[in-house]
């Protein structure tokens, strides 16, 4: 059986390669030499692909061609190439490849994994009105309250930093999507995002596992060569089922009791009820849209805040500078709110540098081309997997001086900085750009500004009385976050402590 399948794989690959030999077209983009049949499958690791693609970019340029068996893969290492193709030519580059591993996991009616077409547009139309800049202005009260709850929690137990920033991110998106609140320490919604996060982060590099190239392999047991991730997806399906179904059940129950709080989901269910069969989306599509909004908004926001804490730990000098700005503009008698945003340029620079320094979706989500295309004299075959390497874009030396360095002042006008542009790729490109970016930026801003206003983030002290030097490492997966590290998070002074405690909010856990 194994030999039969291998023979089939080899034959279809040879057929595809021979067919291409007889067609004349512009040369493919450059890339490292691959193996005759399997192409670059053996050379590309399943972890930290972005770093290897970045290194190859230095040798072969900003547009690289790879081949996984007969599948063409184009890696875009510069924001310009990504913008030229995914944005300016978005009609050709907004498709998605099938993601059999993620489908196996239960992500079915989910925009991020739906190909370009009418169904994609229906999902986009469902989400978009709830996430415009104007609509997001209406969520700032929720975000401010949740940020203040975060401060209170950090005072109570600084060691649980990760739990609390996850709760902050989850609470905001839970309210917007389902009108629900995180209410207790061991809230099921937090557990659900944790388990779904684990499933997504360990589901393998999207689009480049053997199952992605030969979807029929998903029916094979996990011990079969190349089928590990399929087994993992099956084992973790429960997490995605819970993510999609549990909040939905809670909301429908509350609506039936007449207690539904307005949210994305209630508005969709009401529209479905009102319009019946004329409404373009059925229950499963609505559930899927809410599920991706909930997950898309929690894991990424949490991971970015974790990067922020790491950066502040390593760079007390920028903390001090942001605190001086906050003290100057706001004083010490109140906490920041959204009306202060434009008056705090350095805090904004810290937010942007956090997004650039370690983008939490380092390879974006792969797009797929619909037609043959030629870009700068290079042939991009129809059906290519297009990988925007955001990591390489944010490290582009032609745009960022000393790109590995965390330096928020780079964005300031001269003479304080170099007036370098804010990073372009962390939220993706073209018609697939992250619909939640305005909401995410607001959540990040209020959390960062509030934390900087009242806390000093420093190295923690170990039992030996010495400073604990953080071990810096990042997880690998579709989302990437810092590996656990310790910090000391202390109110800057007694006035700051009182400010946190005095703030009146009914939102405590």
Q: Considering the complex, what minimum distance in angstroms separates the CB of residue 304 from ligand HEM?
A: 4
Residue 480 in the binding site for ligand HEM (CB under 6 A): no
Angle at 304 between CA 62 and CA 154, to 5 degrees: 165
Give the count of alpha carbons within 13 A of 451, CB side only. Answer: 30
Q: Considering the complex, what minimum distance in angstroms separates the CB of residue 300 from ligand HEM?
A: 3
Binds ligand HEM by CB under 6 A, chosen from 109, 147, 292, 447: 292
- What Cα–Cα distance (Å) separates residue 449 from each residue in 102, 155, 463? 36, 16, 31
Interface characters, 125-144, with ligand HEM (x: CB under 6 A): --x---x-------------
The span of 253-261, 299-307, 335-343, 445-453 binding ligand HEM (CB under 6 A) equals: 299-307
Residue 281 in the binding site for ligand HEM (CB under 6 A): no
Binds ligand HEM by CB under 6 A, chosen from 38, 63, 85, 111: 111
Q: Considering the complex, what minimum distance in angstroms separates the CB of residue 439 from ligand HEM?
A: 5
Binds ligand HEM by CB under 6 A, chosen from 77, 78, 112, 140: 112
Q: Considering the complex, what minimum distance in angstroms separates the CB of residue 267 from ligand HEM?
A: 14
Residue 361 in the binding site for ligand HEM (CB under 6 A): yes
The residues pairing with 265 across neighbouring beta strands, listed in sequence order, are none
Binds ligand HEM by CB under 6 A, chosen from 31, 205, 296, 423: 296
| Residue 434 is labelled as binding a ligand | yes
**Residue 234 near residue 199 (C-beta atoms within 8 A):** no
Of 104 and 127, CB closest to ligand HEM: 127
Residue 364 in the binding site for ligand HEM (CB under 6 A): yes
Q: Which two tokens stand for residue 4?
A: 């039969």
Of 435 and 470, CB closest to ligand HEM: 435
Residue 442 in the binding site for ligand HEM (CB under 6 A): no
Of 70 and 476, CB closest to ligand HEM: 476
Residue 447 in the binding site for ligand HEM (CB under 6 A): no
Our measurement of the distance from residue 138's CA atom to the centroid of its chain's CA atoms, rounded to an integer in Å, reads 23
Of 155 and 433, CB closest to ligand HEM: 433
**Residue 492 near residue 217 (C-beta atoms within 8 A):** no
Of residues 409-428, those binding ligand HEM (CB under 6 A): 426-428
Of 211 and 289, CB closest to ligand HEM: 289
Of 83 and 485, CB closest to ligand HEM: 83
Residue 434 in the binding site for ligand HEM (CB under 6 A): yes
Q: Considering the complex, what minimum distance in angstroms separates the CB of residue 307 from ligand HEM?
A: 10
Of 89 and 228, CB closest to ligand HEM: 89
From its phi and psi, is residue 117 left (phi > 0), alpha (psi between -120 and 50) or beta? left
Residue 436 in the binding site for ligand HEM (CB under 6 A): yes
Binds ligand HEM by CB under 6 A, chosen from 182, 213, 244, 360: 360
Of 304 and 394, CB closest to ligand HEM: 304
Cis status, amide bond into 402, omega within 30 of 0? no
- What Cα–Cα distance (Å) separates residue 230 from each residue in 101, 221, 242? 6, 8, 19
Q: Considering the complex, what minimum distance in angstroms separates the CB of residue 43 from ligand HEM?
A: 25
Give which of 352, 358, 362, 363 is closest to 310, Cα–Cα: 358
Residue 300 in the binding site for ligand HEM (CB under 6 A): yes
190 Cβ contact list (under 8 Å, min separation 6): 163, 166, 167, 170, 182
| DSSP letters for 14-82 | HHHHHHHHTS--SPPPP----BTTTBTTTTS-SS-HHHHHHHHHHHH-SEEEEEETTEEEEEE-SHHHH
Q: How far apart are CA 70 and CA 72, in angstroms?
A: 6
Residue 432 in the binding site for ligand HEM (CB under 6 A): yes
Residue 81 in the binding site for ligand HEM (CB under 6 A): no
**Residue 89 near residue 373 (C-beta atoms within 8 A):** yes
**Residue 418 near residue 320 (C-beta atoms within 8 A):** no
Q: Considering the complex, what minimum distance in angstroms separates the CB of residue 452 from ligand HEM?
A: 18
The residues pairing with 72 across neighbouring beta strands, listed in sequence order, are 67
Q: Which two tokens stand for residue 368?
A: 């797929």
Give which of 192, 193, 197, 286 is closest to 248, Cα–Cα: 286
Find the helix or strand (DSSP H, E) in which 247 lies: helix 237-256
Residue 182 in the binding site for ligand HEM (CB under 6 A): no
Burial class (CB in 10 A: 0-12, 13-18, 19+), 486: middle
Binding-site residues from annotation for heme: 434
Residues in contact with ligand HEM by the rule CB under 6 A: 111-112, 127, 131, 173, 292-293, 296-297, 300-301, 304, 360-361, 364-365, 426-429, 432-436, 439-440
Binding-site residues from annotation: 434
């Amino acid at each position: 059986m194994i030999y039969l399948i291998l023979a089939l794989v080899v034959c279809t690959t040879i057929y595809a390669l021979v067919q291409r030999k007889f067609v004349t077209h512009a040369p493919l983009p450059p890339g490292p030499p691959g193996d005759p049949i399997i192409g670059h499958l053996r050379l590309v690791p399943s972890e930290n692909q972005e770093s290897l693609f970045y290194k190859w970019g230095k040798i072969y340029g900003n547009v690289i061609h790879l081949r996984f068996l007969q599948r063409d893969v184009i890696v875009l290492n510069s924001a310009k190439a990504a913008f030229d193709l995914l944005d300016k030519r978005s009609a050709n580059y907004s498709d998605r490849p099938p993601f059999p591993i993620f489908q196996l996991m239960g992500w079915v009616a989910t925009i991020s994994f739906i190909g370009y077409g009418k169904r994609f547009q229906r999902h986009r139309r469902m989400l978009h009105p709830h996430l415009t800049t104007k609509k997001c202005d209406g969520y700032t009260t929720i975000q401010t309250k949740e940020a203040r709850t975060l401060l209170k929690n950090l005072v109570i137990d600084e060691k649980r930093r990760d739990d609390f920033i996850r709760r902050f991110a989850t609470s905001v998106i839970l309210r917007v999507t389902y009108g629900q609140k995180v209410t207790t320490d061991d809230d099921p919604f937090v557990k659900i995002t944790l388990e779904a996060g684990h499933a997504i982060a360990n589901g393998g590099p999207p689009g480049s596992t053997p199952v992605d190239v030969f979807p029929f392999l998903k029916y094979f047991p996990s011990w079969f060569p190349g089928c590990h991730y399929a087994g993992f997806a099956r084992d973790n399906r429960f997490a995605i089922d819970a993510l999609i179904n549990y909040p939905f059940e809670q909301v429908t129950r509350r609506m039936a009791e007449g207690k539904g709080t307005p949210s994305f989901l209630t508005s969709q269910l009401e529209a479905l009820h009102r319009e019946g069969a004329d409404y373009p989306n059925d229950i499963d599509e609505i559930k899927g849209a809410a599920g991706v909004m909930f997950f898309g908004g929690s894991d990424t926001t949490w991971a970015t805040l974790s990067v922020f804490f790491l950066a502040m730990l390593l760079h007390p000098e920028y903390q001090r500078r942001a605190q001086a700005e906050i003290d100057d503009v706001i004083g010490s008698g109140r906490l920041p709110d959204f009306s202060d945003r434009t008056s705090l340029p350095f805090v904004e620079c810290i937010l942007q540098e956090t997004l650039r320094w370690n983008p939490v979706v380092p390879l974006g989500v792969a797009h797929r081309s619909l037609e043959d295309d030629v870009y700068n004299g290079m042939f991009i075959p129809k059906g290519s997997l297009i990988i925007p390497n955001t990591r390489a874009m944010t490290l582009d030396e032609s745009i960022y001086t000393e790109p590995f360095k965390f330096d928020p002042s780079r964005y300031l006008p001269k003479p304080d900085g170099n007036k370098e542009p804010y990073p372009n790729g962390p939220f993706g490109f073209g018609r697939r750009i992250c619909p939640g970016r305005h909401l995410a930026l607001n959540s990040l801003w209020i959390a960062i500004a509030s934390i900087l206003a009242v806390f000093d983030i420093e190295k923690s002290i170990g039992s030996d009385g010495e400073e604990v030097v953080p071990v810096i490492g990042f997880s690998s997966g579709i989302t990437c976050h810092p590996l656990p590290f310790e910090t000391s998070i202390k109110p800057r002074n007694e006035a700051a402590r009182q400010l946190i405690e005095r703030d009146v909010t009914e939102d405590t856990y």
